[in-house]
Every structure is written in C-alpha cells, then in structure tokens.
Structure 1
Amino acid sequence: MCRPGWGSARAEARRLEGLARLRRVRDRIDRDYARPLNVPALAREAGLPVGVLVLSFGEAYGRTPHAYLTARRAERAAYAEHTGQPVHTGQLGRAGRAGTTVRNREAAGAGPVLR
C-alpha cells in the first residue's frame, strides 16, 4: 500500500518532467530559429502528441510554439537591423521577402530592411 503523500509526489514529478520537455522544445526553437522548424517534428522530439504540445506550450509560455518561433525570428531580425547587419530571408527560415516582412510587422510592429 502506498503512503498518502506518494501519489502527489508522483504527480509533481510528472508535471516537472512535462515542463522539462517544454523547456527543451523552447531551447530548440531558440537555438535553431533560422532553420526550417515545424510543430509536428518538435512534438515528435519531445515525445508528445502535437495537440498536447501546443496546449501545454501555450499554458507555459503564453503562446503556441509557432507563435513563439515567429516572435523569436522577428526579434532576431529587429536586432540585426538595429546593429546594421544585413537580414537575409534564408536566415529567418522563410522562403520569401513578403512573408518575412508581414510576419515581422505582425510580431514586432515593423518589418526589417531585407538585402
């Protein structure tokens, strides 16, 4: 028979393991933001169903994995523009200029100057 506190300790251990998985996904997005990333691949790496990853990530970080990735790309583009570095669409994981400008305008309020 289990002791009374063991059930809650196991639940807490599961919760912490779930947060660690989400942190690994977030770290992967931060590290590989310039590469093509998709949510199903991130979910597979985390060992979670796509829906669970999207909901859990949203609860933990306030936005979906895709929105987090888009915001990171916009932040990096704005930083590069601020420091005078050229911003290339290939560095941002997008195929075209139009998508880059529109996404950055949505996320940061302004699009980068693309070269």
Structure 2
Amino acid sequence: MAAVTKELGSSHLRDLARLRRVRDRIDREYDRPLDVEALARSVNMSGGHLSRQFKRAYGESPYAYLMTRRIERAMALLQRGDLSVTEVCFAVGCSSLGTFSTRFTELVGVPPSVYRARADRATAGMPPCLAKQVIRPIRNREAPTPEDA
C-alpha cells in the first residue's frame, strides 16, 4: 500500500511540475497564439486533462489564465497612452478586438477606451509597486458593474 501511495505522490508532483511549465509558458508567450491543445502537447497531456488539472491547481482554466495575463499587459500599455486600443489588442496577442474588449470589460469593469482615459488619474503620484496592485485585473468576472459602484 505504501508503494502505491508513494507512486501517486510522485505522479502528482510530476503533474504539478508540468502545470507550472504550462503556466510559465503562458506568462512568457502571452502575446503569441496559444491554444490549450498546443500547451497540452508540450507537456505530454491531453487538452482535457490539462484543463482539468490546471483549473484544480490554479483556480481557472488555461485560457482564462492566458486572457488575464493579456489583460494585465494591456492595462500597462493603455496606461502608457502611446498606443490605440486596437494596437494594444494586437500587441498582447488577441486577434479579435471584440473579444479583447469584452474580456477587458469583464476583468477590469470598464471598456479599454474608458480605462485608458482614466488610467493617468487613478495612479497619479502613487509608487509603481502600489499602482500595480491597484490596477491588477480581477479574475472570474468579479469586477463591479457600473450599477454596483
């Protein structure tokens, strides 16, 4: 029985290491076309198994994690103010302006154009380490709606 438990434990650790490699790849390559099947192949898992295990380990699907990373980067680019919303959309790896705007609004609570207009005021005079926490997107559609604010 101990041998079975030990093998299950080492198998679990191997799966966690593979999930971490997927997460790290998403963090590095968020601006490239990534899909669950390609991510799964890179760690010798099926797409379904990767999705289930990733969600169990990190609380969201690989696609949701990827979109959150893209939105975080988009927020930084929009704050700079030198790129249009469309340019930011494509710079972070999104191929559809509509999908980008919808997901941005879900995570941040306002459309990208409104965020860009408000960004300078929101963190004016704030140290960058605090500004990063203030502007971090909220995951899992938790952003307050205009009626809630």
Higher relative contact order (CA 8 A, sep 6+): 1
What secondary structure, in the 3-state scheme, does the structure 2 residue paired with 1:52 have?
A: helix
Please give the alpha-carbon distance, in whole angstroms, between the structure 2 residues aligned to 1:103 and 1:85.
22
Please, what TM-score do these two structures have when normalized by structure 1? 0.85
Q: 1:102 — aligned with what?
A: 102
Structure 2: distance between partners of 1:11 and 1:70? 32
Does the 8 Å contact 1:70/1:107 carry over to 2?
Answer: no
TM norm structure 2: 0.67
Percent identity over paired residues: 40
**Does residue 1:70 correspond to 2:64, yes or no?**
no
**CA deviation vs aligned residue, 1:23-50 (integer Å, no higher than 9, x gap):** 0000010000011111110011111111
The CA distance in 1 between the partners of 2:96 and 2:75, in whole Å, is: 17
> Over the residues paired in the alignment, what is the CA RMSD in angstroms?
1.8
Deviations 1:41-76 (A, max 9, x none): 001111111111111000000000001111111111
1:55-110 residue CA offsets vs partner (Å, 9 max, x unmatched): 10000000000011111111111122234453522212122322221111112223
- For residue 44 of structure 1, the aligned residue among 32, 41, 44 is 41
Q: Is the 8 A contact 1:89 1:97 kept in 2?
A: yes
Partner of 1:5: 2
- Counterpart mapping for 1:81-100 below 5 A: 81-84=78-81, 86=83, 88-100=88-100
Distance 1:70 1:102 in 2: 11
8 Å Cα contact 1:75-1:108 kept in structure 2: no
Q: Contact between 2:40 and 2:46, CA under 8 Å: does it hold in 1?
A: yes
Q: Distance in 2 between matches of 1:78 and 1:6?
A: 49
State how many pairs are aligned.
111
Tell me, which stretches of 5 or more residues in structure 1 are unaligned? Answer: none
Contact 2:78 2:88 in 1 (8 A): no
Report if aligned partners of 1:35, 1:91 keep a CA contact under 8 Å in 2. Answer: no
